[in-house]
Structure 1
């Protein structure tokens, strides 16, 4: 009979050295498996949050572009004491205003009802004023929407600079930040 089979047929059990060797190998294998699984979950979490940030940046930029194309402004001006722009469309033949809209970043309120910076747009001349808030999970603290042109008050052409700083906290409490700077002409 094979010596290996004879060894297992005996009821002597394992020696202490064999037991320690098996436990050592098992602990190394289990430690490696744990490390791989932990790394996989961490990488998955990071990729999920970063994809969410990119999707929300796309949502904000799409909302801004849609508002601009909807209004079709003839002049754009910076909002005084605000972080945003005002779009105005006037008739070509006269000076009658046919559409107004504002796109601005609203900071958290002092009462604590809103805890994050958000993008607000809409026609402020209507009664009651039209306010459309772009619904996203990220905080836009530090973001800005500015107008670059040669005009002092309003411009017929120039650049709109959108500098977004999106922040989102994952399940482990780690803050992920995505910075996006976009410049487009009108």
Structure 2
């Protein structure tokens, strides 16, 4: 131990310094180590943000799906009809016996509606008497496509195609949710089908 301390004292008194080759070698090693550290931190942060956004989108998708399923099973409608849809609205109507009808609407008709799913209760005359909405942090993407292949949609497939509303069939739901991070769109498409 004493020999080591003596060597350190001798080096401290030595005024020779570093050669140019030693300086270049140490800077090269330092830049390689710093590059590895920087790339590891950058990769870790981007992976963290990607997973965080994906989890957020999945949570919101689960919220929307559970809201729709809860409306369907809470009311137990006598029949369900595909309401008239356009490029900005996708909707189905739950027809309830002796009560007002409940409408589930994917509405994207104005800028303020793109982050919400609407449940509208209408009376027999078609007047909205009550409206609930599920607000989202993500954007619910609804696109105008005749085949409804892009964007979010809610579609009814009746077992008896001759009727406008059906008491049994299949409801197909596709959700396209979008969040923006670092000027980049992150999309998640969820599909679900269930019978009634």
1:146-181 deviation digits (Å, cap 9, x = unpaired): 1000242110100001011111112x1211111111
Q: 16, 22, 27: which is aligned to 1:23? A: 27
Q: CA deviation at 1:7?
A: 5.2
Q: Contact 1:78–1:84 at 8 Å: present in 2 too?
A: yes
1:53-102 deviation digits (Å, cap 9, x = unpaired): 00000000000011111211011001123511100121xxxxxx234211
CA distance in 2, matches of 1:181, 1:128: 29
CA distance in 2, matches of 1:115, 1:184: 26
Q: Contact 1:71–1:100 at 8 Å: present in 2 too?
A: no
Unaligned runs of 5+ in 1: 91-96
CA distance in 1, matches of 2:193, 2:39: 43
Q: CA deviation at 1:108?
A: 3.3
SS in 2 for 1:130: strand
Q: CA deviation at 1:115?
A: 5.9
| Normalised TM-score (structure 2) | 0.82
Instruction: Give the structure 2 partner of residue 175 of structure 1.
Output: 185
Instruction: Give the structure 2 partner of residue 160 of structure 1.
Output: 171
Would the alpha carbon gap of residues 46 and 56 (structure 1) be closer, same or farther in structure 2, given more than 3 Å must change? same
Q: Contact 2:82–2:155 at 8 Å: present in 1 too?
A: yes
SS in 1 for 2:122: coil
SS in 1 for 2:35: helix
CA distance in 1, matches of 2:77, 2:22: 82
Instruction: Give the structure 1 partner of residue 137 of structure 2.
Output: 137
Q: Contact 2:105–2:120 at 8 Å: present in 1 too?
A: no
Q: 62, 66, 78: which is aligned to 1:62? A: 66
Aligned length: 176
Unaligned runs of 5+ in 2: 142-150
CA distance in 1, matches of 2:45, 2:13: 44
CA distance in 2, matches of 1:117, 1:34: 36
Instruction: Give the structure 2 partner of residue 93 of structure 1.
Output: none
CA distance in 1, matches of 2:24, 2:77: 78
What is the Cα-based RMSD across aligned positions, in Å?
2.1
Q: CA deviation at 1:124?
A: 2.0
Would the alpha carbon gap of residues 173 and 13 (structure 1) be closer, same or farther in structure 2, given more than 3 Å must change? same
Q: Do structure 1's residue 72 and structure 2's residue 76 form an aligned pair?
A: yes
Instruction: Give the structure 2 partner of residue 108 of structure 1.
Output: 109
SS in 2 for 1:123: strand
